[in-house]
A and B are shown apart, each in its own frame.
With several copies, the nearest count.
Chain A
Amino acid sequence: MFKKILIANRGEIAMRIIIACRELGIKTVAVYSEADENSLHVRFADEDVCIGPPRSSESYLNVPGVISAAEITGADAIHPGYGFLSESAYLAEVCEACHIRFIGPDPKVIRLMGDKSRARRAMKKAGLPMLPGTDGPVESEEDALKFSNAIGFPVIVKAVAGGGGRGMRVVRSAQELGHAIRTAQREAEAAFGVPDVYIEKYLDSPRHIEVQVLGDHHGAVVHLGERECSIQRRHQKLMEESPSPALTEKQRRKLGNMVVDAAKAVQYSNAGTFEFLMDEHGKFYFMETNTRLQVEHPVTELVTGIDIVKEQIRIAAGERLSVRQGEVTFNGHAIECRVNAEDPDTFVPSPGHISVFSMGGGPGIRVDTAAHSDCTISPYYDSMIAKIISYGRDRHEAIVRMRRALEMSVVEGVKTTIPMHLKILNDPDFLAGRMSTRFMERFTPPSEKKGSLAEAV
């Protein structure tokens, strides 16, 4: 086992990793930017190294800084957390070269999954269901119509060179298709210089369902069930839960096994998440793989009893998975609310000094945070200040516990998204488990709704 782990991150996830290391009896090294000198992760790590100025690009994203910090402190492994360098194949490669263990998948796997088109091909080959789409650009309107009829409307016309919502058209019937293709081509040409467009199945109100996997270096892979993360705003997850209220036991097993097979096909190791869209008929479509720890990992920890961060560390140290698939059990229900220092209506960040910080506790409540009374939320980084995770015997209990925990939380000095979470927790559709990635549109100020099509894609 490792003797000393460097944590290449900040905030609550750095604290989460320090906690895991303490439980395993491993020393920790915090790295920090000048803006984080007084942060909890610096205080609670055994050693700390300032690696740069406040800007992430010069500190938390600074690979030589991180590696040098590991070298001067004699750390034998680096945990990258999420965000920042967590999906940097480069960091993983440099670690390899420097004989420092990178706590994450092999750099080749990170690289493969990071290239969306290669990843899709590999996952399709490994048997994951894909959203039907033309393999290349549309050759003629006739072909496009034939294809669209085959996969069924609505479809979406997308610029091959696209991005940012331009060159995109949702088409709901055969009549609209020709016009949509021509418009999209003109837009694509204007925006990217290339008129090529392709066609893909369009899901109106999909759910976001993802599957957590763990793989060791001995060929074993298990899945830890799914998380439903449909409550999003501009692709930012706001609230996650496990299990999904939409899945049956059979679907869970089937999806899980499919993902385990796909992970094995690419020799996946360490923790990872396979993200899917689910349509109203319960069909899944692979989106992408996140080759790292996710923000929302605690909901899975609560329903399985498995400490994912400790498993990551053990796996990286060469140990075998602590459970076989048959030993993974799912009990109860867990929900996570990301408490952000933001205006709950406009989502405008609200950095500043927190004078009072007290999160609700008691039965079934877990709080992951690096905030405290008399701390400062700096404007340089992510606005998430805490994760409140509730656990109950069933979804109802998890919801009522979350509700009262939020009601009993007190944050003064900055605005938080707690009022928004309470709105969601009182929404009849949410209570009934009726969710999709468009759920948050009902709470979005009208001025923002424009362009939401592009966002929803």
Chain B
Amino acid sequence: MDFDEINKILDIVREHELSEFELEREGFKIRIRKGSPAHVSGAVAAPVAPGPHYQGHPPTHASAQMATAPEPQSAASIAAAAAAAEEVDLAIVKSPIVGTFFRSSEPGAAAFVDVGDTVKKGQVLCIIEAMKLMNEIDSELDGEIVKVYVENGQPVQYGERLFAIKARGDV
């Protein structure tokens, strides 16, 4: 059972609008609850209405929809929580504008920063070109670059992740 398989199961759960799915086999057990809250023994859990999703969402956006859906107690959100935990100490630098992402000041030049580099607050991390203007994106903290999300020359939207930085205190 890997993430592909789990994703397949989650697809099934969504497609069939299941509220609960449990599968157990030798050395393996999975249980998923979705949408409506789980009422477990003794607990007085407040019921949560299922998220207001438009069901006719074209498939291309389906995953995005799922990821952004407010489903506080669903398996999907538990997975998301795990992912968040992983990044809990990381600062994510997001693009403040729409444009094209460049990692260096000009073609052929060295990248402003790379994974493993230590950066200081105010240090240029990248350039985003918009309307022929080169907008320098600075680091807002001291820390270490642990991830670069976008490839050189790729377009980025507003709010798109660019870098993950591990703050100095944690280095």
A11 at the interface (CB under 8 A from B): no
- The majority secondary structure among interface residues of chain A is mixed
A168 at the interface (CB under 8 A from B): no
Proximity bits, B120-144, A CB within 8 Å = 1, else 0: 0000000000110100000000000
**Which stretch in A195-203, A342-350, A370-378 binds the other chain?**
A370-378
Q: Please pick, from A34, A49, A69, A372, the residue contacting B54 in the complex, using a CB distance under 8 A.
A: A372
B52 at the interface (CB under 8 A from A): yes
Whether A374 pairs with B64 at a CB distance below 8 angstroms is no
Whether A65 pairs with B53 at a CB distance below 8 angstroms is no
Complexed CA–CA distance, A44 and B58 (Å): 8
Q: Please pick, from B52, B130, B131, B160, the residue contacting A353 in the complex, using a CB distance under 8 A.
A: B52
Complexed CA–CA distance, A402 and B133 (Å): 43
A72 at the interface (CB under 8 A from B): yes
Given that A37-B64, A49-B157 are contacting pairs, would A355 and B130 also be in contact in the complex, using a CB cutoff of 8 Å? Answer: no
Residues of chain A within 8 A (CB-CB) of B68 are 37-38
Complexed CA–CA distance, A98 and B155 (Å): 17
Whether A72 pairs with B55 at a CB distance below 8 angstroms is no
Question: Which A-chain residue is minimally distant from B160 (CB atoms)?
Answer: A50
B116 at the interface (CB under 8 A from A): no
Question: Which A-chain residue is minimally distant from B99 (CB atoms)?
Answer: A68
Whether A372 pairs with B56 at a CB distance below 8 angstroms is yes
State the Cβ distance, A368 to closest chain B Cβ, in Å.
18
Whether B157 pairs with A51 at a CB distance below 8 angstroms is yes
B65 at the interface (CB under 8 A from A): yes
B97 at the interface (CB under 8 A from A): yes
Complexed CA–CA distance, A59 and B130 (Å): 15
Residues of chain B within 8 A (CB-CB) of A71 are 99-100, 130-131
- Supply 22 A–B pairs (Cβ within 8 Å), ascending by A: A34-B158, A37-B68, A38-B61, A40-B54, A43-B54, A43-B57, A49-B157, A59-B158, A64-B98, A64-B133, A65-B97, A67-B130, A71-B99, A71-B100, A72-B155, A98-B131, A355-B17, A372-B54, A373-B54, A374-B54, A410-B56, A412-B55
Q: What residues make up the interface of A, taking CB atoms closer than 8 Å to B? A: 34, 37-38, 40, 42-44, 49-53, 59, 64-65, 67-69, 71-73, 94, 98, 353, 355-356, 358, 372-376, 410, 412
Known: A65-B97, A358-B56, A372-B56. 9 other contacts (CB 8 A): A38-B53, A43-B56, A44-B58, A65-B158, A71-B99, A72-B98, A356-B56, A374-B52, A375-B54
